Structure 1
């Protein structure tokens, strides 16, 4: 079981979004710094007084108007496709793969993600001190993982809940799936369902 499965259990990865945002930010900073350097005349007074739209570049575009239009259209289409792909990728729900325990033809055995999450949730709610639980099956078919949130009653001993969860709930899940390791991220919260005071 790789470390990527453990990371998926902790939460959905937004590394790609962060990388793109960082690259856009770095390019923006570099462009701003370059404009500042040129505008201050650090690269020569003549270059600093030239217009933003260089006459030489404008002249080349006029002389090659057809190629410039084709290039602009292709670039625009590529940016549109990339933007739509990125938009739908960001909105894509997190995968909850079903687990195929047996792929023998005629004797297939598949455990759905909801069934696995429901079974683990039932076991977790049976632990003393746990008032309610929420379990999500995440990861991939080859590397399943669990994301567990437990709400504890006030005064519950956290250490005992953790030991029972590991010794009973997670061990039973591993044995049922026939895997040696099953990464699980566990979040503990105090169940404050009592009436709120009004000041």
Structure 2
């Protein structure tokens, strides 16, 4: 009986070692929660302070650069939110990796980044093209779409829950592409509410 327990413990340890070597498990649930909060605050500022409405974005007056002041403010706000979210994710994930006695930047982390890079890069370029063509209403849903594709693509190298998160983001992106006037709202739901729920779930499941 004792020998069977020893075998079970050894198998569990081997399985854990293999999982750590093949999957990136340093993602922090709190990083998702904070990213969601940043997104909700950003969406509120874009709508209430800058008066941005994707449904009427084509009516915004242009500046000498060919971009409206409102849109320029929203773009700068989005870049700031992205920087805050990425910075927070790196900081909190590094703390988690340190607590687990692991390095944040390792082979599995590189695989995750590489698999996310192509969809994100293509999506970023496409968003810039749409902005240049004045198709502002599709910017928010397309960021959701390509972000979801990046998550789905990288999910095989990290927690399986990321696949579900990616599919939800893709679904919201498709909805936003059809209901263009609700693009900002769906963006807030996808990057804000869904991230917060995902972060809370991951924290209670893996970090407590």
TM-score by length of 2: 0.25
Of structures 1 and 2, the larger Rg is shown by 1
Instruction: From the two aligned structures, give the one with the greater strand fraction.
Output: 1
Q: By percentage of residues, which structure has more helix?
A: 2
